[in-house]
Structure 1
Amino acid sequence: MTQTLRDPLSKRRLKAWLRLLNVTRQSENHLREFLRVNHATTLPRFDVMAALWRRREGLTMSELSRALLVSNGNATAVVDRLEREGLVLRTPVEKDRRTVQATLTEAGIRQFESMAAAHENEVNTLFHRLDAEDLDQLRAILQKAVAEPE
């Protein structure tokens, strides 16, 4: 018999995981729809722009895909569309011309900052029932939850 089966909290931890997953999926679905309806964009596009906004000097396509936990192909497809719309600029890296770095254009920065402010407001609305103490406790619990198992 494994230790998990003898652990009296095992079922409760499983239920907590399922609840966390449910909240995450519902929130993500809501935000996907919010971005689609209010900004005519997708969550993957928003995520790519957010990653590039955080790293103003740009990211290589490999760095971008690692940061977003997606394949190079997925990141490239999103960047292709953003580049066609004038929101992202791709330039070869001087040291290795085979490597391409993506950066937001000025138009991309402006568009992302507008979407990001609305996105933050929508997340705030989604979680409005959580007060400061709730948020502190939730953060502490989640940090504790990702600690390496013994």
Structure 2
Amino acid sequence: MAAKVTSPRKRDQRMDPDAGNHADIRLWLRLLFCASRIESVLQSRITSDFGISLARFDLLSQLERVEDGLTMTEVSHRMMVSNGAITSLVDRLVEDGFVRREPHPRDRRTNIIRLTDEGRARFLAMAGEHEQWVVGLLDGLDEPVKRGLLDGLGALKQHLEKTGG
């Protein structure tokens, strides 16, 4: 069977998302690029300044928001990762003295994960720096651009929630 020959123009349009009228694909790629770039910068900074991964920082952030702690399943849902991934993160944070496991009062098969005092203090110090990094990354954008992005992404979020996407 002979290979299908594609004209250079058609091949280039398929490989170049900016070619033709593929606004939805361009939008998705732009969102992905921006999110990945910001995450990469934050990962690099938090690792170099605090010696912690962004995933562990995110887990500490989830725990800092709730006074009564969270189960592993609750953390995995909030962070949108598997229980196995959370177990590994929690193990390391327990070793570091940032979190502790406590037996669940009504389900002995489950543990509640809570911040230690040291973990809360360290997280709050990191969170202040993290906030400044994010502000610095977005600082060059005009306020109307920021407002437009926020409104547009809010509409996208509502649309995705409504459609189950």
TM-score (norm 2): 0.81
In structure 1, the gaps of 5 or more residues are 1-8
Which string of whole-angstrom CA distances, capped at 9 and with x for unpartnered residues, describes residues 67-121 of structure 1?
A: 1011111101111111111110110111111110000011000000000000000
Which string of whole-angstrom CA distances, capped at 9 and with x for unpartnered residues, describes residues 37-91 of structure 1?
A: 1111101100100000011210001101111011111101111111111110110
Q: State which of 12, 16, 25 in structure 1 corresponds to 2:36.
A: 25
Aligned residue in 1 for 2:92 = 81
Cα root mean square deviation, aligned? 1.4
Q: Identity of counterpart residues, as a percentage?
A: 35
Q: Supply the distance in 1 between the matched residues of 2:60 and 2:21 (Cα, whole angstroms).
A: 39
Q: Supply the distance in 1 between the matched residues of 2:84 and 2:119 (Cα, whole angstroms).
A: 21
Q: Supply the distance in 2 between the matched residues of 1:56 and 1:34 (Cα, whole angstroms).
A: 28
Larger radius of gyration: 2
In structure 2, the gaps of 5 or more residues are 1-19
Deviates more, 1:9-18 or 1:29-38: 9-18
Q: Supply the distance in 2 between the matched residues of 1:66 and 1:20 (Cα, whole angstroms).
A: 23
Deviation, structure 1 residue 134: 2.0
Q: Supply the distance in 1 between the matched residues of 2:99 and 2:109 (Cα, whole angstroms).
A: 18
Q: Supply the distance in 1 between the matched residues of 2:65 and 2:105 (Cα, whole angstroms).
A: 22
TM-score (norm 1): 0.89
1:91–1:102 contact (8 Å) kept in structure 2: yes
1:56–1:104 contact (8 Å) kept in structure 2: no
- Please identify runs of 4+ aligned residues in structure 1 that moved more than 4 A: none
- Larger RCO: 1 or 2 (CA < 8 Å, sep 6+): 1
Count of residue correspondences: 141
Structure 1 counterpart SS, 2:111: strand
